[in-house]
Structure 1
Amino acid sequence: MNQAGVNEKYKVSPFYVFFLLHSMQTGLGVLNFQRDLAKATGTDGWISILLAGLIVHILIWLIYKMIFSIVPGDIISANNHALGKWIGNFFSLLFILYFFALGMTIIIGYINVIHVWMFEEVPSWAFALVFLVLIYYIISGGFRTITGIAFLSVVVSYWLLFVPLYGFKYADFTSFLPIFDHTLIEIMKGTRSTSLSMLGFEMILMFYPFIKNPETSQKYAHGGALATTLLLLLLYFVSTVFYSQKQLVLTLWPTLSLTSIIELPFIQRFEYITVSWWNIVIITNMVIPLWAASRGVKRLFNVQQKYPLWVMSKIIILVNIFFFDVDSLYVLNKIINPYSVAFLVLYLPLLLVLISIKKWRNRL
Structure 2
Amino acid sequence: MIQTDKNSITFLQFVFIISGIQISVAVLSLPRKLAEAAGSDGWMALPLGFVLNLICSYIIVSVMRKCSEKTLIDAISTMMGKWIGKAFALIIALYFFHLMYDGLVRAILIVKIWLMPNTQAYVLMLLLLFPAYKVALGGPRIIGRYAEFVAVISCWLPFVYLFTLKYAHWLNLLPFLKEGFQPVLYAVKETIYPTLGLSAVFILYPYLKNKEKAASALFLSNAVTMSVYMFITIICFIYYSPYESKYYNDPIISILKTIEFRFIERIEVPFISFYLFVFSLVWIPCMYIVSYCIRQIFELDSHRTPLRILCALLIIGTYFFIPTFNQSDKLQHWLIWFGFSMEYILPSLLLIYIILYKRLRPRSIL
CA distance in structure 2 between the partners assigned to 1:95 and 1:188 by the alignment? 29
Q: Please say which of residues 95-104 and 186-195 is displaced more in the overlay.
A: 186-195
Q: Please say which of residues 33-42 and 187-196 is displaced more in the overlay.
A: 187-196
Q: How many residues align?
A: 361
SS of the residue aligned with 1:283? helix
* Alpha-carbon distance change, 136 to 120 in structure 1, aligned in 2, over 3 angstroms: same
* Alpha-carbon distance change, 174 to 7 in structure 1, aligned in 2, over 3 angstroms: closer
**Deviations 1:111-158 (Å, cap 9, x if unpaired)?**
111111111111111010011111111122232111111001111101
1:194-233 → structure 2 map (5 Å cutoff): 194-233=191-230
CA distance in structure 1 between the partners assigned to 2:261 and 2:327 by the alignment? 36
Are 1:68 and 2:72 counterparts? no
**Deviations 1:154-212 (Å, cap 9, x if unpaired)?**
11101101112222111111110121234555333312212232112221111111111
User: Identity of paired residues, percent?
Assistant: 24
1:167-186 → structure 2 map (5 Å cutoff): 167-182=164-179, 185-186=182-183
Specify the alignment match of 1:160 in structure 2.
Answer: 157
Specify the alignment match of 1:274 in structure 2.
Answer: 271
> Could you tell me which of 238, 245, 269 is aligned with 2:242?
245
Gaps of 5+ in 1: none
> Could you tell me which of 241, 249, 254 is aligned with 2:251?
254
Specify the alignment match of 2:318 in structure 1.
Answer: 320
Name the aligned partner's letter for residue 356 of structure 1: I
Are 1:308 and 2:306 counterparts? yes
CA distance in structure 1 between the partners assigned to 2:243 and 2:80 by the alignment? 49
Are 1:98 and 2:117 counterparts? no
Contact 1:100 1:312 in 2 (8 A): no
Contact 1:240 1:248 in 2 (8 A): yes
CA distance in structure 2 between the partners assigned to 1:98 and 1:8 by the alignment? 27
TM-score, L = length of structure 2: 0.93
Q: Please say which of residues 28-37 and 191-200 is displaced more in the overlay.
A: 191-200
> Could you tell me which of 102, 106, 116 is aligned with 1:119?
116
SS of the residue aligned with 2:258? coil
CA distance in structure 2 between the partners assigned to 1:325 and 1:15 by the alignment? 35
1:141-156 → structure 2 map (5 Å cutoff): 141-156=138-153
Quote the offset at 1:92 in angstroms. Answer: 2.3
Quote the offset at 1:18 in angstroms. Answer: 1.6
Contact 2:89 2:296 in 1 (8 A): no
Quote the offset at 1:348 in angstroms. Answer: 1.0
1:122-141 → structure 2 map (5 Å cutoff): 122-141=119-138
CA distance in structure 1 between the partners assigned to 2:255 and 2:80 by the alignment? 49
* Alpha-carbon distance change, 76 to 184 in structure 1, aligned in 2, over 3 angstroms: farther
Specify the alignment match of 1:294 in structure 2.
Answer: 291
CA distance in structure 1 between the partners assigned to 2:327 and 2:305 by the alignment? 26
Please give the root-mean-square deviation of Cα atoms over the aligned residues, in Å.
1.7
SS of the residue aligned with 1:324? coil
Quote the offset at 1:74 in angstroms. Answer: 1.6
CA distance in structure 2 between the partners assigned to 1:197 and 1:120 by the alignment? 26
CA distance in structure 2 between the partners assigned to 1:24 and 1:214 by the alignment? 20
